[in-house]
Amino acid sequence: MLSAALNGAVDNEALQRRGVRLGTPQLYKSSFENVDLAQIDLSVQWQNVKQNEQWNYAVELEPTNNTGTWSYHAESLQLNNQLILQRKNNKIETYGKHQYNDAFPNDEGAKAAIHLALSESKPASGKLFSEFSSRLKSYAIYTPTTAMLSDAVTDMRSISNNFMGLSGNRLAYAMLDLIDTKNETYGYLDLDEVLDLLDWIESIAVVSPTTDILSPVVPRLQKILSFTDFLMRKDNNKFTAHEASEGSLYVFFLLTLAMHHYAPSIFAVENFDQALHPRLARALAKSFCKAIFANPHQPIAFLTSHNPLVLDGLNIRDDRVRLFAIDRNSKGYTTINRVTVTEELLEQGKKGLTLSRLWVMGYLGGVPAL
């Protein structure tokens, strides 16, 4: 919702394009006993330590009708805890040295006034805000599925820059940009290191579909994935994405998402471990972190997992890797607790207990009461 608000409109189309599962307006609001919430208040804070700048953006939203369109009740922007611009009922007020005389449209939700006020044509003080808001505006939630990854089914949601769809469509096209057989690399990773995650692939390529490798009854794009199995007979060891194991498609999808220049700067993946063997999920978690850190664009990824071994692939001693346990308390409120390296955790580690075992045993939280 923050991403859509910064982009100027919050409605079903904007939310669906970002991977949100659409619901009725009341389902977006908190629903607790004896609590009446008429609107949704959202805020985000970011900072540039070198420039000593801390920005705060806040927005109040409320659905206007059953069509899924939300109205802006208010927006505000602060720099170093000083209010520099706010909108209430489509009236713009500015403060201090940040004076703007732009004429803003009066239609609710048509444009985010804050975004207009600090576009690239405005003073340099708004550069950090513009950079961050452009990153957040491209936010999307990815939920890969096997049928989409093999392009057997088409995702009707729009795809920006011809990049992969939110469920994995056009994986072959995205991979084509990362495969470098000459230098034996896949994006920012060594190609052999990537192929080692899968114990049957000798090589991988993006090729044009032909009847000798793809059944004529299978839907096809202009480019498809071709895998070579090193354990099979040389004259019959080619697979496409339609025949390959779904785990291999998920591996390449996630690493592509971590390294491709067209991928969103901030994104989420629902069920990171889906279709993966537990040991493969652990190894992929390590490779995924390595790919993210090697990417000069420094993307931010939010991942959910129900597979304990994924935790063993995370180095939570590295502050760039953060692990959170999500629970609901007895009143239904969602609680989020960061798992950090403590003396107690280190003591458990000395006993041979891994993060995965500690999670299953209930030490870290984020477990059902079963």
pLDDT tens for 285-323 read 999 999 999 999 999 999 999 999 999 999 999 999 999
Q: Are 169 and 175 within 8 A, CB to CB?
A: no
Give me the mean pLDDT over the 36-55 stretch. Answer: 83
pLDDT tens digits for 312-366? 999 999 999 999 999 999 888 899 999 999 999 999 999 999 999 999 999 999 9
Domain 142-321 in CATH 3.30.160: no
Query: What pLDDT sits at residue 278?
Result: 94
pTM as predicted: 0.88
Pairing of strands 266-269, 70-79: unpaired
CA triple 43-46-52, angle to 5 deg: 135
Q: Are 102 and 121 within 8 A, CB to CB?
A: no
Max mean pLDDT range (36-45, 212-221, 241-250)? 241-250
Q: Domain locations in the chain?
A: 2-136, 142-321
Query: What pLDDT sits at residue 68?
Result: 79
